[in-house]
Structure 1
Amino acid sequence: MMQFTQRARTIALRTAKHAALAGVLLVSAVTAMAQTDSPIGTWQTIDDHTGQPKALVQISQDSSGSLSGKVIKGLNANDQPDRRCTECTDARKDQLILGMTIVSDMKKDGEGWDHGQILDPENGKVYKCKMHLEDGGNKLVVRGYIGVSLLGRSQTWIRQQ
């Protein structure tokens, strides 16, 4: 009887470990899937003129489901951490670029996100914005435009792990 109880306990422990492992794997799979079908996360921006990495932007979602993005790190060796948006004409005028929200009010629209705005801290201008994922969720194509999206430019941001 003692051997049976010990064996039952061992089997129960193994079963619990396997169930726990299966749970961890399931959560990991769901998290990975969520990362590939949503722009939520950290993105490396690329300078249009030099083709070099420029900054890291953290995109997050608020309680209403809208996405916003803020600069969390400058990657250009020439950028000073105390650099300010001297060209901005709104409430961000002379504010630090590091920590600044540059993407706001993005809403899910079909396969992409639209109806938001993006600030170019280099010139202080605010543009309408739309974005969509490519390459299995590893690239984010961000388009800033005036009026209609044909009149604008796109950047491809790279997801950071």
Structure 2
Amino acid sequence: MKQLGIIALILCAQTLGFAQSKAYDILGKWETEARDGKMEIYRCGDHYCGTLLEGKNIINADGSSKKDVKNPDANLRSRDLVGMTILSGLDFDGEQYQQGRIYNADNGKTYKCYVWLEADILHLRGYLGLKAFGQTSKWHRIQ
């Protein structure tokens, strides 16, 4: 009977370890499905965030970063898109990364979002209001 308790304790510890390691699976560098943008996801406090690294729509012809000109806050329109945090507030619930926000520099809007992994594909769904009304993009791990 004592051995059953020890086995159960070991199994619980392994399950907890798996859940914790799974939480870190989104860390690293990701590239859009079209291979035209890159983002790095990292821990920021108790959450996960993502910074825009490069992309075809964020670099000027001279190699400099485009500015955040569509931002509704006029004070932020002069900031560079390269290096900008566009993904914030994601929390891991054991299966998905929930409660996040994603900023779309193309239109200056911020959307609610959540993320889940399937193999090495990161699915990022941005939405307004209900989760059913949104768009999902797929990102491929590059590092």
Shorter chain as denominator, the TM-score bin is 0.7 to 0.9
Distance 1:41 1:92, change over 3 A: farther
Distance 1:77 1:120, change over 3 A: closer
Residue in 2 that maps onto 1:89: 72
Structure possessing the higher radius of gyration over alpha carbons: 1
Consecutive aligned runs of 4 or more in structure 1 exceeding 2 Å deviation: 34-37, 76-79, 90-94
Over the aligned positions, Cα root-mean-square deviation in angstroms equals 2.3
Residue in 2 that maps onto 1:60: 42
Q: Higher helix fraction: Structure 1 or Structure 2?
A: 1
Unpaired runs of 5+ residues, structure 2, are 1-20
Would you say the 8 A contact 1:88–1:94 is kept in 2? no
Secondary structure at the counterpart of residue 36 of structure 2: strand
Residue in 2 that maps onto 1:122: 106
Unpaired runs of 5+ residues, structure 1, are 1-33, 47-51
Distance 1:78 1:57, change over 3 A: closer
Aligned pairs, number? 120
Superposed CA deviations along residues 19-70 of structure 1, whole A, max 9, x for unmatched, are xxxxxxxxxxxxxxx5896201000024xxxxx3221100001232x00000
Superposed CA deviations along residues 53-93 of structure 1, whole A, max 9, x for unmatched, are 221100001232x000001122x288323201111124643
Would you say the 8 A contact 2:58–2:65 is kept in 1? no
Q: List aligned pairs for 1:23-102, cutoff 5 A.
A: 34=21, 38-46=25-33, 52-64=34-46, 66-74=47-55, 76=56, 79-80=59-60, 81-90=64-73, 92-102=76-86
Distance 1:77 1:123, change over 3 A: closer
Separation of aligned partners in 2, 1:71 and 1:122: 13
Q: Are 1:141 and 2:123 counterparts?
A: yes
> Under a length normalisation based on structure 2, what TM-score does the superposition of the two structures give?
0.75
> Under a length normalisation based on structure 1, what TM-score does the superposition of the two structures give?
0.67
